[in-house]
Amino acid sequence: MKIAILGGDGFVGWPTALHLSDAGHDIHILDNLSRRWIDTELGVQSLTPMDSIQERTRIWHAETGRRIHFNLIDLARDYDLLKNWLADHRPDAIVHFAEQRAAPYSMKSDRHKNYTVNNNVNATHNLLNALVELELDAHLVHLGTMGVYGYSTVGAAIPEGYLPVGIETMAGQTVSQEILYPSNPGSIYHMTKCLDQLLFQFYAKNDGLRITDLHQGIVWGTHTEQTRRHAQLINRFDYDGDYGTVLNRFLIQAAIGYPLTVHGTGGQTRAFIHIQDSVRCIELALTNAPARGSRVEIFNQMTETHRVRDLAEMIAAVSGSQIAWLPNPRKEAAENDLVVHNEKFLALGLNPTRLRDGLLSEIVDVAKKFAYRVDRARVPAVSAWTRDIAARLDRDPEGKRLKSVS
């Protein structure tokens, strides 16, 4: 297939582009490289050294003989450029990663909230609008988040997208209906993914677009089969308080002798998936497209769930690290359960990579190799959900800040 990968320079986008190119597909990356500019804004860099997208694709071609094409397009602002590219290339499928992906970044300030909404929602709607106007029957696969469901405890397993409900009619009868599982976003970022859901439902119903929405858990890991082939193909790896995901952050903290930062009680239960499984799930979704006129296909893209404190205690036990129990910058329940259905991908042949499979040591090895690139001042999570919470945060978990003499 000819596949457009929107946001293909990112944390999941880049290994997906390599994986699908390796499988023989014709890959075209569309990206505005905003994630690299955000690094500059935040004053932090990927733990792993990243070359330019042009150099990355050159190395891939040198190693494999296969080309990955790059197009500099801002999907949220350059509608005509996007539309013209789609008209010229008419891809068979589109994988949509082109959204600001960090909940803490989306809550930093009013400017960051506005940017996240404008970028994420406009990018999605511009894409859907262009597909309709061009009468382009491309299968759209979107990377969403488990966070659209929220993390409250309801005592029932979360289904894959749709919830069967009974509605009482005026005649007193009960009729059955399937609805989208009620959204409960925990941040501006998660809210934009909820808005994506509604846009997808409308365009699938109104215009017959073929759409698959992947509600993904937290991604952990560094390498995929393809990124291991050359040092310059390595994936980005974030450790900072805004973009670093919890498990990767714990492992880096362990590798550099930094306290494992657990916020609140650590009773937050989260869903996880390894980066290799993430790219494999996207491939499975692409090869199992819904029929035109079908409702949006929804998969829960995760393989296991864990409480944050359990992860910290597991890593502390094997690394000898200390745990720092810190105030929570997020406005969320102190404890939650999370039981999730994920049978669809398992039925399609996914063989999940689990935490127990020994890949944690691989991340620690990568962290130790590039530890010289870590700015310890960027490790704490200090983007607060409200002003009241901001006043209570601990910005110095190591206790190294100079104190005045009195």
Give me the mean pLDDT over the 279-287 stretch. Answer: 97
Active site residues: 145, 189, 193
Quote the pLDDT of residue 406: 47
Sheet holding 269-274, edge to edge: 218-220, 269-274, 304-307
Quote the pLDDT of residue 152: 67
- Kindly list the distances between the CA atom of residue 396 and the CA atoms of 258, 325, 337, 387, in Å, as whole numbers in the listed order: 11, 12, 30, 18
Give me the mean pLDDT over the 177-202 stretch. Answer: 96
Q: What residues does 212 pair with on adjacent strands?
A: 141, 297
Domain membership of residue 391 (yes or no) is no
Contacts of 248 by beta carbon, 8 Å cutoff, 6+ apart: 220, 221, 237, 238, 239, 363
Q: Highest-confidence range of 16-25, 160-169, 344-353, by mean pLDDT?
A: 16-25
Domain membership of residue 180 (yes or no) is yes
**Rounded Cα distance, 194 and 144, in Å:** 9
Q: Do the beta carbons of residue 99 and residue 192 sit within 8 Å?
A: yes
- Stated pTM of the model: 0.95
Domain membership of residue 344 (yes or no) is yes
Domain membership of residue 314 (yes or no) is no
CATH number of the domain within which 191 lies: 3.40.50.720
Please count the CA atoms within 13 angstroms of the CA of 386 that sit on its side-chain side. Answer: 7
Q: Which two tokens stand for residue 159?
A: 């289904």
Domain that holds residue 17: 2-237+272-303+337-355
Q: What residues does 213 pair with on adjacent strands?
A: 142, 298
Q: Mean pLDDT for the chain?
A: 94
Domain membership of residue 267 (yes or no) is no
Domain membership of residue 377 (yes or no) is no
Quote the pLDDT of residue 360: 81
Q: What is the pLDDT of residues 341-394, one digit of tens each?
A: 999 999 999 999 988 776 788 888 898 999 999 999 999 999 999 999 999 998
- Kindly list the distances between the CA atom of residue 121 and the CA atoms of 51, 91, 325, 342, in Å, as whole numbers in the listed order: 29, 22, 35, 27
Q: How many domains does the chain have?
A: 1
401 confidence band (pLDDT: 50, 70, 90): low
Give me the mean pLDDT over the 39-61 stretch. Answer: 97
Q: What is the pLDDT of residues 74-133, one digit of tens each?
A: 999 999 999 999 999 999 999 999 999 999 999 999 999 999 999 999 999 999 999 999
The answer, yes or no, to whether residue 153 has pLDDT greater than 80, is: no
Domain membership of residue 246 (yes or no) is no
Domain membership of residue 351 (yes or no) is yes
3-state SS of the chain is: CEEEEECCCCCCHHHHHHHHHHCCCEEEEEECCHHHHHHHHHCCCCCCCCCCHHHHHHHHHHHHCCCEEEEECCCCCCHHHHHHHHHHHCCCEEEECCCCCCHHHHCCCHHHHHHHHHHHHHHHHHHHHHHHHCCCCCEEEEEEEHHHHCCCCCCCCECCCEEEEEEECCCCCEEEEEEECCCCCCCHHHHHHHHHHHHHHHHHHHHCCCEEEEEECEEECCCCCCHHHCHHHCCCCCCCCCCCCHHHHHHHHHHCCCCEEEECCCECEEEEEEHHHHHHHHHHHHCCCCCCCCCCEEEEECCEEEEHHHHHHHHHHHHCCCEEEECCCCCCCCECCCCECCHHHHHCCCCCCCHHHCCHHHHHHHHHHCHHHCCHHHCCCCCCCCHHHHCCCCCCCCCCCCCCCC
**Rounded Cα distance, 279 and 18, in Å:** 9
Beta strand pairing call for 304-307 and 269-274: antiparallel
**Rounded Cα distance, 215 and 80, in Å:** 29
